Structure 1
Amino acid sequence: MILESQKFDIIAETERLIIRPLNENDYENWLNEFTNRFPSQHRHDMGKMDMSKCSYEWFKNLINQHQELALTDTAYIFAVFLKEDGRQLGKVDFSTLERDDFQWGRVGYSFHNQHWGKGYGQEAVKEALDIAFKMLNYHRIEAHINLDNPASIKLAESVGMAYECTRKGFIYEFGEWTDNLIYYLNFIE
């Protein structure tokens, strides 16, 4: 259920979650969840991170960057919070790939590893896709997934995304051009 609808102030709720952009009041919670991450579980999990440079001023700048990305229709970054106690569980983001006759975007998602295995990812991404189609006016959303990331594949499939193809040498990461699986979902009214 979507509660508010200005692009950079969108707030949505599910049974257990609140999905919205970060605001300045989230700093302590945000920092705490990064600090409490478990060690890396696999190569696509950053695990514990050095947060020593992430001051309150740094965080305010991050929020301003997120708002600028939304205002320019470049990207929309939504934090995911647990309703029960307000903990920040992770994020779902959308990048605009092409507008005009395409209305095409990419979805990304990451959740703090201490919250894995509880269904929060599926619940958040499903609601975020609803935002992407109904409020951000995308027609097609793609997920670009590394071949060796079964958890991300499972999440994409669980929210109704379908495998389309494998793009060879698609993204430069880990010091090389990597192949990516392309999962997609089109908006159907």
Structure 2
Amino acid sequence: MNNKNLTFTTDRLEIRPLVNSDYESWLKGFLDRNPSQYQYDDGLIDMSVCTKIWFEDLVKKHHELIKNDEMYIFAIFDKNNQHIGMIDLVTIRRGIFQWGECGYFIHNQFWRNGYAYEALRKTLYIADKELEFHRLEAHVNLDNDPSIKLLQKSGFEYECTRKNFIYEFEQWTDNHIYYINFDDSNNQQN
């Protein structure tokens, strides 16, 4: 892991990279999911391959990605150490760009509690102040209204729609691109 402090808290959440001792909480978050609520919700997932050894390998890979400044994968926990979801920052390009992408999910049993907004706002602070990104993008399906509303509420602005941008659902799909630039005076994070 690099020298940066990558553990952050909000009023209700702790946001940090996974460690081996998170296995039980992490697994429970997935096992306690409700059936899929809509198209972009995976709902119940077969977790049978996710043994403790498998998880330790996952944690090792996450820390290697952080060390190499490729991807910062954060677990979201509540104050009772319940695994709420995940949020990540992917380095697209450093140098004169300082450009990244963010993605996130909250387990559906925790929806409608404001956790996604709280975690995203804190992660934007991390991206700006700790990881020194200038620009973050989020790529979102055209009809994923909950995610679009979350991004807008968090300070992202619509930039464009990229045609045939992401391969998912066994086809190339269009995605809206939302962005935030951290040097904009109206985008100050806390």
Letter in 1 for 2:115: Y
Which aligned segments of 4 or more residues in structure 1 are displaced greater than 6 angstroms? none
TM-score in terms of structure 1 length? 0.94
The corresponding residue for 2:142 is 147
Residue of structure 1 equivalent to 2:52: 56
**SS at 1:96's partner residue?**
strand
How far 1:102 sits from its partner (Å)?
A: 0.4
SS class of match (1:121): helix
CA offset at residue 6 of structure 1?
A: 3.1
Residues 49-88 of structure 1 aligned to structure 2 (within 5 Å): 49-83=45-79, 85-88=80-83
Query: What RMSD in Å do the two structures reach over aligned CA positions?
Result: 1.1
- Shift, 1:42, TM fit: 1.3
Matched ranges for 1:20-59 at <5 A: 20-59=16-55
CA distance in 2 between partners of 1:99 and 1:86 (Å): 34
1:23-53 deviation digits (Å, cap 9, x = unpaired): 1111001111100000011121110011111
TM-score (norm. length: structure 2) = 0.94
Q: CA deviation at 1:111?
A: 0.7
Per the TM alignment, residue 137 of structure 1 is displaced from its structure 2 partner at its CA by: 1.0
Partner secondary structure for residue 78 of structure 1: strand
Report the Cα distance in structure 2 between the residues aligned to 1:6 and 1:26, rounded to whole angstroms.
21
- Equivalent pairs, count: 183
Q: Which residue of 2 aligns with 1:6?
A: 3
**Taking every aligned residue pair, what percent have the same amino acid on both sides?**
51
Structure 2, unaligned runs of 5 or more:
186-190
The alpha carbon displacement at 1:64 in A equals 0.4
